[in-house]
């Protein structure tokens, strides 16, 4: 096939780039070197915080672009490209409502307040902590998450019983003014209206002077839909959510088959 003029590749992490055990595939490291040699930017795009993404890539990720917090925070070479913080009054309202629902037994959930400087939690349930530790390299356990002064980029609610079936409906009314995104089986993210990975990718494209036709993107879950819509070379993983498959122009093998790596290698010719 004709080798496309790809200048930017944006890749979701869980279920897409990472293997089923949650590890960065070893084959990515030499591939990053090839991308650098060709002047192709590589951007992990995730609901995870910036510090966690940077930890995942270590020294090899020193010059990568990062789309963090589901698009609420974009950083290139350590410099902020864009960010979108929640109004503190809105944050207070959501957390107070969640506390009430949990106290009443309507929800079995905990919240992560995702700030620019750190993530904050007040729930110390061991099962909740075990899940949070997977995604937040910079985490503060505090008495009251509402007492923190950090800019809040996102509220991430972990529902032990399933986010799509329980937490999302409980906060459905917020969709009139904000994003309520099911980002995993148990996670629901609440952000400002218009904040998503696709907006973030377009901000990064503008910063780099790159077009959608020069962009490839990979994803598997609902919070990847806008990301794929911002790239002409859009790929849904083999086991992606049906709604993601519906918007993607192409398919890639599953993360268990290292589909991101094999597909990028094919694009490079």
Q: Tokens 């009139």 — which residue?
A: 176
Give tens-digit pLDDT for 141-156: 999 999 999 999 999 9
* pTM to 2 decimal places: 0.86
CA distance 181 to 134: 19
Average pLDDT over every residue of 220-244: 96
pLDDT score, position 39: 96
pLDDT score, position 173: 97
Question: C-alpha angle with apex 138: 152 to 228, nearest 5 degrees?
Answer: 65
Q: Concatenated DSSP letters for 179-243?
A: EEEE-SSSEEEEEETT-SHHHHHHHHHHHHT--GGGEEEEE-SGGGHHHHHT-SEEEEETT--HH
pLDDT score, position 1: 54
Cα–Cα distance list, 225 to 63, 186, 198, 234 (Å): 26, 18, 8, 10
pLDDT score, position 269: 86
Q: Does 181 score more than 90 pLDDT?
A: no
> How many other C-beta atoms lie within 10 A of the C-beta of residue 88?
13
* Percent above pLDDT 90 for the chain: 90
H or E stretch at 120: strand 119-121
Give the tokens for residue 34. 């090839």
Percent helix, percent strand, percent coil in the chain, to nearest 5: 45, 25, 30
How would residue 108 be classed by pLDDT, with cut points 50, 70 and 90?
A: very high
């Amino acid at each position: 096939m004709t080798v496309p003029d790809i200048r930017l590749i944006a890749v979701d992490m869980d279920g897409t780039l990472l293997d089923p055990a949650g590890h960065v595939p070893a084959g990515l490291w030499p591939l990053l070197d090839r991308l650098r040699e060709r002047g192709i930017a590589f951007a992990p795009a995730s609901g995870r915080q910036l510090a966690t993404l940077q930890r995942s890539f270590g020294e090899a990720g020193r010059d990568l672009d990062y789309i963090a917090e589901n698009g609420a925070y974009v950083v290139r070479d350590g410099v902020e490209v864009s960010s979108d913080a929640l109004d503190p009054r809105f944050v207070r309202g959501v957390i107070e409502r969640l506390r009430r629902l949990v106290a009443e037994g309507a929800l079995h959930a905990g919240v992560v307040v995702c700030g620019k400087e750190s993530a904050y939690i007040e729930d110390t349930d061991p099962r909740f902590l075990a899940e949070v530790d997977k995604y937040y390299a910079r985490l503060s356990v505090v008495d009251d998450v509402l007492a923190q002064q950090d800019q809040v980029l996102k509220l991430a609610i972990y529902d032990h019983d399933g986010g799509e079936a329980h937490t999302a409906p409980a906060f459905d009314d917020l969709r009139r003014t904000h994003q309520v995104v099911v980002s995993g089986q148990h996670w629901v993210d609440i952000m400002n209206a218009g904040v998503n990975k696709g907006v973030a990718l377009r901000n990064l494209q503008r910063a780099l002077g790159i077009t959608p036709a020069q962009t490839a993107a990979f994803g598997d879950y609902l919070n990847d839909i806008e990301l794929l819509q911002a790239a002409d070379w859009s790929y849904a993983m083999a086991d992606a959510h049906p709604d993601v498959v519906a918007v993607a122009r192409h398919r890639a093998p599953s993360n268990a088959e290292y589909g991101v790596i094999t597909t990028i290698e094919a694009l490079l010719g």
